[in-house]
Structure 1
Amino acid sequence: MRDFRLLWFGRVVAVLGIQIQSSALLWQVYEIARRDHPIAEASLYLGLVGLCQFLPLLAFTLPAGAMADRRDRKKTVWISILVEAACAGSFLAMAIHGSPPLWGLLAVAAVFGAARAFLAPASQAFLPMVVGRKALPPAIAAQSIAFQTGAIAGPALGGVIVGVNVPLAYAVSLGMFLLAVAAFILIKTGGKPAPVEGKLSPLESVKEGLAYVWQTKIVLGAISLDLVVVLLAGVALLTPIFARDILHVGPEGFGLLRASFGVGAMAVAIYLSRYPIVKHGGRWMFAAVAVFGLCTLTFGLSKIVWL
């Protein structure tokens, strides 16, 4: 299907743009911070990059989901990516300037986080409109491959480009975002959801969603567990520290470190597609969290690149 090919292409280049830009931003922020601060203080700015993107994402996720139920999903997708392109352009302009203020980089990162909050639910809701219900399972699998491809290739490519020139990395990510915008605009399938009588208001939809999560303990538990792991044990933002000051592998090694997260995720996704978990899902979740914690400890203590 022509429209699905455009959607898949748009998804791949958008993820590539996000990953290349993230690599450039993290490396640039840490390099600037290290000019005037020791490692411990400079690492705080990496945490602020994540926080500035996470807080808008957290604040707008539920309203964005309600918006995806009511507004043109295709338009929401390409406008969100266009905002991401504007952020990439802002990063590029500041990088060309030479030594941009850290607060400026963090402010643009916050806008980028807000755009991603609106992009995710609209993109997920638009896929069934393009392929239909019967073709949805293979389409979801292909969409997942697109994401994992970008998650692996993006950081590695970003590290190589950052090693050449940081502004070039932002320019490449800007080009990727614009390609994604063009791909979604060219999709002929409309993105307006079918009208539903008696539909709740956006605020009522958000309240209903929160009530459902609170009342459905298995969903609440899974979300809470994932949130704790993401907030307390994420190491992806710290990879510039390890690449620059501990392992001494430069931006290229930094890109490979970030790409390794995507490699692991794709390997598990392929395994689960062949051998899905059909029982004792809770036990597997806790086991995965335990392994995640052990890997985090090993990562923090290791001074060997391949480990």
Structure 2
Amino acid sequence: MSSHTFKELLQQRAFIRMWCARLFGTMGTQMLMVAIGWHMYDLTGSAWDLGLVGLYQFLPALLLTLVAGHVADRVHRGRIIAGCFFTQAAVALILIAATQGWGATASAHWASRELLLGLSVLLGVARAFQMPAQQSLMPMLVPPAMLPRAMAFSSGGNQAAVIVGPALGGVIFVAGASAVYASCAALFVTGSVLISLVRYKHTPPPREPVSMRTLLAGARFVWFHKALLGAVSLDLFAVLLGGAIALLPMFAKDILHVGPWGLGLLRSAPAAGAVLTAVVLTRWPLARRVGHTMLAAVALYGVCMMVFGLSTSFLLSLLALAVSGGADMVSVVVRQTLVQIETPDDMRGRVSAINSVFIGASNQLGEFESGATAALLGPVGSVVLGGVGTVLVAVAWLRLFPSLARRDSLTAPARES
């Protein structure tokens, strides 16, 4: 594909507005997570409470999956995202008030452990509705032939925000927690305004009563379309086994002996590799043998984890993590594009909700798995064993999901019997 096609992508105004809105929203989310985590630890000094912040955000996404997917298929998706951004902005404003004591003296702070946990639940609810609406909106904004390129461009921007957001939040935190919360509120409001300007043809589906049948329609669709089932489950098992992020502090301190500055570089390396790969995939999208390419990328991810686990060289460890981020980006782009082009528009919200739960579960459970196996085998044994498991998953998926492995193109729906 020529560069002219990429220029055409940049001319898709609705897509660019959504891309910018997602960029602002992701940066706001990352900064808010840094601030809430630091704020909680400053209040309680408890690692357990830090874990609860993440858990309280994940549980609403799990419990509201079916409802959020149903809503995304019934309501204008841009308005859902805008509402979720406003909700997160409201959380930031509440935290400013709790920190600064609006309407009272500066000493009238009422930030507490309970408030932070309650607001974490609210953030989890907002994210539960935002993710399926956000994922299922993109195919409405670009022509089908541009979707793989748009997915790569969007994922690259998201990874860039993941890198910049925490760093920016840490710098702003020097001026106080309220400064970070104010910045987050500004980012969310900007994202909400941009997404509100996105226009696409929204045709409400025929009204039908809400029932378990309609709520479970997305799960049934994924189950009976084996290429989709293979794609969404691949991420769950690969990240569940191969994740090493939770153990990076142990590697930085005890194995690589690099301290906090090295830990920061280790955490940034996968995202840096992902951004570089996203740029390449945006310029030169995958055209053939995408199924085998995705499985090969997952296997490469596992190999990188084995190299990282065995490495005692800081530079080699950085390289292994960067390559793992690039391999993961290939898998993400192929998988997310397949999910969208294989799913009818009136089902995209519910299917995207199922996909979001698989992604969230893989990240949360992956951190737990890494910690549990590290307690038994040590950090090196945990990461190496997880890398081996990831390679075995990629090989197993060749056999278990042949329709996924044989997938050749990202532009034409697969035909299944």
Fold conserved (TM > 0.5)? yes
Q: Return the alpha-carbon distance in structure 2 between the equivalents of residues 28 and 238 of structure 1.
A: 22
Q: Is the 8 A contact 1:239 1:258 kept in 2?
A: yes
> Which amino acid letter does the alignment assign opposite residue 119 of structure 2?
V
Query: What is residue 118 of structure 1 aligned with on the other side?
Result: 129
For the pair shown, which has the larger CA radius of gyration, 1 or 2? Answer: 2
Please report how far the alpha carbon of residue 85 of structure 1 lies from its aligned counterpart in structure 2 after TM superposition.
0.9
Query: What is residue 220 of structure 2 aligned with on the other side?
Result: 211
Moved more, 111-120 or 170-179: 111-120
> Which amino acid letter does the alignment assign opposite residue 48 of structure 1?
L
Q: Is the 8 A contact 1:92 1:167 kept in 2?
A: yes
Match of 2:203, SS? coil
Change (3 A) 1:87 1:242: farther
Please report how far the alpha carbon of residue 298 of structure 1 lies from its aligned counterpart in structure 2 after TM superposition.
6.9
Change (3 A) 1:52 1:167: same
Q: Return the alpha-carbon distance in structure 2 between the equivalents of residues 49 and 298 of structure 1.
A: 32
Please report how far the alpha carbon of residue 2 of structure 1 lies from its aligned counterpart in structure 2 after TM superposition.
4.1
Match of 1:100, SS? coil
Query: What is residue 377 of structure 2 aligned with on the other side?
Result: none
Change (3 A) 1:55 1:6: same
Query: What is residue 178 of structure 1 aligned with on the other side?
Result: 189
Change (3 A) 1:240 1:279: closer
Moved more, 90-99 or 72-81: 90-99
Moved more, 52-61 or 289-298: 289-298
Please report how far the alpha carbon of residue 180 of structure 1 lies from its aligned counterpart in structure 2 after TM superposition.
0.9
Please report how far the alpha carbon of residue 179 of structure 1 lies from its aligned counterpart in structure 2 after TM superposition.
0.7
Query: What is residue 302 of structure 2 aligned with on the other side?
Result: 290
Query: What is residue 154 of structure 2 aligned with on the other side?
Result: 143
Q: Is the 8 A contact 2:35 2:180 kept in 1?
A: yes
Please report how far the alpha carbon of residue 160 of structure 1 lies from its aligned counterpart in structure 2 after TM superposition.
1.5
Show the 5 A alignment for 1:237-276: 249=260, 258-270=267-279, 274=284, 276=286
Q: Return the alpha-carbon distance in structure 1 between the equivalents of residues 68 and 151 of structure 2.
A: 21
**Count of matched residue pairs:** 294
- Gapped runs of 5+ residues in structure 1? none
> Which amino acid letter does the alignment assign opposite residue 214 of structure 1?
W
Match of 2:220, SS? helix
Please report how far the alpha carbon of residue 58 of structure 1 lies from its aligned counterpart in structure 2 after TM superposition.
1.8
> Which amino acid letter does the alignment assign opposite residue 194 of structure 1?
T
- 1:51 equivalent to 2:55? Answer yes
Moved more, 259-268 or 66-75: 259-268
Q: CA RMSD in A?
A: 3.8
Q: Is the 8 A contact 1:12 1:147 kept in 2?
A: yes
Q: Return the alpha-carbon distance in structure 2 between the equivalents of residues 25 and 278 of structure 1.
A: 40
Q: Is the 8 A contact 2:40 2:113 kept in 1?
A: yes
Query: What is residue 27 of structure 1 aligned with on the other side?
Result: 38
Q: Is the 8 A contact 1:153 1:259 kept in 2?
A: no
Please report how far the alpha carbon of residue 18 of structure 1 lies from its aligned counterpart in structure 2 after TM superposition.
1.0
Tell me the percent identity: 34
Match of 2:92 among 88, 94, 105: 88
Please report how far the alpha carbon of residue 200 of structure 1 lies from its aligned counterpart in structure 2 after TM superposition.
8.0
Please report how far the alpha carbon of residue 137 of structure 1 lies from its aligned counterpart in structure 2 after TM superposition.
4.4
- Gapped runs of 5+ residues in structure 2? 1-11, 102-108, 319-417
Match of 2:290, SS? coil
Query: What is residue 129 of structure 1 aligned with on the other side?
Result: 140
Please report how far the alpha carbon of residue 172 of structure 1 lies from its aligned counterpart in structure 2 after TM superposition.
0.6
Query: What is residue 72 of structure 1 aligned with on the other side?
Result: 76
Q: Return the alpha-carbon distance in structure 1 between the equivalents of residues 148 and 117 of structure 2.
A: 38
Q: Return the alpha-carbon distance in structure 1 between the equivalents of residues 240 and 110 of structure 2.
A: 30
Q: Return the alpha-carbon distance in structure 2 between the equivalents of residues 239 and 100 of structure 1.
A: 30
